[in-house]
Amino acid sequence: MSSPPFSLLIKPASADCNLQCEYCFYLEKSELYPDQRRHRMGDAVLDKLISTYMATDQPVYSFGWQGGEPTLMGIEFFRRVTDLQMKHGRKGAVVANGLQTNAILIDDEMASHFAQYKFLLGVSLDGLEDMHDAYRRTAGGGPSHKRVLARTELLTRNGVEFNILATVHAKNVGRPAELYRYLVDSGFLFHQYIPIVEFDPSGAPLPFTITGRQWGEFLCGVFDEWMKADVTRVSIRDFDAILAFLVDGNRQICTMGDNCCQYFLVEHNGMSTPATSSRDPTCGSETSWKTDGKSFSIRRCIDRSARGRECSRRAAGSASSSISAKATARSRGSTAGRIPHSLPGSVKAGRCSTRIRWQGSRGWGGRFSGSGRGSSGRPRTRRADGRPLMTVVPGALAGACGANSRGARGANPGGSKGPGEEAA
């Protein structure tokens, strides 16, 4: 029996970042490598990572690039990524790239590449300026809100698909309607909200931490605002996931299931573990990618043990159940359809590729998300407005590649799937 599909959550620059967000749990991970001040994934590791993953049998080859800040790697790194995906992709393979970023380092050249290869970005924006700049500051303590907004304009100008990831913390948890309305009025129609819950070594909550009740009240506040007029045009990951589960049992968020083992977290040096739904070090298992200079293998993690279930319960807490029964009942039955949609071909260096296809992946974008699929592996394939997630291959070369690709796969085979709910 073949293993269930899985995806990769990759940290090519490890914990390195151009911001010093006060609530970031990953910055301290640089201490795992005391002999290195700068952490970057090398070409050999990148090649092994992509080649061995794409040698497995997946409905979609889903790569999630995170950090730290992955754009520290620069444009040439992401060119190598797509070149290697094309080199190692088998005929008919579908590739989806998601990238979680603060967006500050993205320029037109990088944005153009992301647009060409249909990367989906999750842009971190915690709401209004005072909400965002309370904790998301530069290494020198300066604000970052205006710089992020400028980059969202650049992404829009270059045709890059992106979601907004807003962390919910002590400075914005009491203002759900204001935060939501600000994002929508700014033209951001794809949202993901992530609660910040951090403790000091003694177990006391840190100042920016929110409680389960606050998180539930925040979601209810957003839900009430969303229900007024935005149900058919604004996508909110939390609500999408609940609706998908109510309608067809599809668990799009791993903490709604038994574990988060449907994706692997890969560090800059190639070391990896199955991702868990908690930062509790007792959750998950030992390293699953192994490098010995000659081989690079993947071991599938399916953790159905009591420990795995307990880890998931600890991570999820009361967050999901905090949405009131009233809110859930009002939303029942209003989920968008999932109609498979695919495209022929992709383009490289003025010629047709080996017919791997880069697929958009609306809904990806958050921490602890990675996979883009629920436990059933079924994706979202439509935007909130009903349009397909995928777009035509760019430029005049589309016609040239179309004939060969259609001959191999057909205009719309229907069976091709891409990730929907993440991630970021």
Q: What's 130's domain CATH number?
A: 3.20.20.70
Mean pLDDT of 72-100: 96
Residue 331 belongs to domain spanning:
7-409
Mean pLDDT of 117-129: 98
Could you report the per-residue pLDDT of 257-313, keeping only the tens digit for each? 776 677 789 999 998 877 654 333 333 333 333 333 333 333 332 233 333 334 334
Flag the least confident range among 30-44, 85-99, 286-300: 286-300
pLDDT computed for residue 277 by the predictor:
41
More confident residue, 304 or 119: 119
What residues contact residue 393 under an 8 Å CB cut-off, 6+ apart? 343, 344, 345, 346, 347, 401, 402
Distance in angstroms (rounded) separating the CA atoms of residues 271 and 327: 42
Flag the least confident range among 22-31, 113-122, 323-332: 323-332
Distance in angstroms (rounded) separating the CA atoms of residues 194 and 332: 23
What residues contact residue 245 under an 8 Å CB cut-off, 6+ apart? 251, 252, 256, 374
Could you report the per-residue pLDDT of 375-410, keeping only the tens digit for each? 333 333 334 444 333 222 222 222 222 222 222 222
pLDDT category at 218 given cuts 50, 70, 90 is very high
What residues contact residue 230 under an 8 Å CB cut-off, 6+ apart? 184
Phi, psi of 409 (to 5 degrees): -120, -20
417 located within any domain: no
Query: What is the length of the chain?
Result: 424
pLDDT computed for residue 360 by the predictor:
62
292 located within any domain: yes
Q: Is the pLDDT of residue 35 over 90?
A: no
Q: What percent of the chain has pLDDT over 90?
A: 53
The separation between the first and the last C-alpha atoms of the chain, rounded to the nearest angstrom, is: 30
419 located within any domain: no
424 located within any domain: no
SS (H, E, C) 311-346: HHHHHHCCCHHHCCHHHHHHHCCCCCCCCCCCCCCC
**What SS3 class is residue 422?**
coil
**Which 8-state DSSP code applies to residue 349?**
T
347 located within any domain: yes
How many CA within 13 A on the CB side of residue 137?
A: 12
What are the DSSP calls for 137-164, one per residue?
BBTTS-B-HHHHHHHHHHHHHTT-EEEE
211 located within any domain: yes
422 located within any domain: no
2 located within any domain: no
| Total number of domains in the chain | 1
Distance in angstroms (rounded) separating the CA atoms of residues 34 and 152: 35
pTM strictly above 0.85: no
- 165 with 194: CB under 8 angstroms? yes
Mean pLDDT of 69-74: 98
- 141 with 135: CB under 8 angstroms? no
Q: Is the pLDDT of residue 346 over 50?
A: no
pLDDT computed for residue 251 by the predictor:
82
Encoding tokens for residue 211?
A: 């409680």
For 244: left if phi > 0, alpha if psi spans -120 to 50, otherwise beta; the answer is alpha
| Dihedral Cα 89, 8, 69, 117, nearest 10 deg | 30
- Give the Å distances, CA to CA, from 411 to 13, 196, 392: 39, 45, 12
- 366 with 122: CB under 8 angstroms? yes
How many CA within 13 A on the CB side of residue 221?
A: 18
pLDDT category at 161 given cuts 50, 70, 90 is very high
Mean pLDDT of 193-197: 96
Mean pLDDT of 205-215: 96
pLDDT computed for residue 361 by the predictor:
52
